[in-house]
Amino acid sequence: MKVYILAAIGFTIVCGCGQERSGPTTVGGRTVADWTRDARSNDPRVRALAVSKLGNAGSSEPEALQVVRTALCDPDPRVRRASILAIPKFGPEATASLAKTLEAIARTDRDPSIRKLAARARKNN
């Protein structure tokens, strides 16, 4: 029994269990700050990819959610679509906090596919 306890303690020391992560969060091989910068690009394809990648950061990066939230109003439907798809990745609280916004998009977006996607995202909340 002592051997197992000593092994567990040794494993914890070697693996650094309980250590806080160091350095910036990376998603898709780039930092959240890099993707945030891309979310302001003039190219809508770059913005859509950035928003999609920021969704993969999830709830560990609150500033990523702010960028995704802003992208809901992007003039390009690809970016709005990426934003709607990214929101659930931040967890149910994020989806609930954006329920009214999703509802408004479902009623008023000029792109029918975006309206449908927003309605579905709202119902899944």
Q: What is the pLDDT along the chain (125 residues), one digit of tens a residue?
A: 554 454 445 444 444 455 455 577 888 899 999 999 999 999 999 999 999 999 999 888 889 999 999 999 999 999 999 999 999 999 999 999 999 999 999 999 999 999 999 999 988 76
pLDDT value for 98: 95
pLDDT value for 60: 82
Listed residue (84, 30, 23) closest to 57, CA to CA: 30
Three-class secondary structure of residue 41 per DSSP:
coil
CATH architecture of 31-123: Alpha Horseshoe (1.25)
pLDDT value for 53: 96
Q: Structure tokens of 109?
A: 């977006």
Distance CA 88, CA 92 (A): 7
Domain definitions of the chain by residue range: 31-123
Q: Structure tokens of 72?
A: 């809901």
Torsions phi, psi for 31 (to 5 deg): -75, 160
- Maximum distance among all Cα pairs of the chain, rounded to whole angstroms: 68
Residue 88 is classified by DSSP as G
Q: How far is CA 22 from CA 19, 25, 26, in A?
A: 9, 9, 11
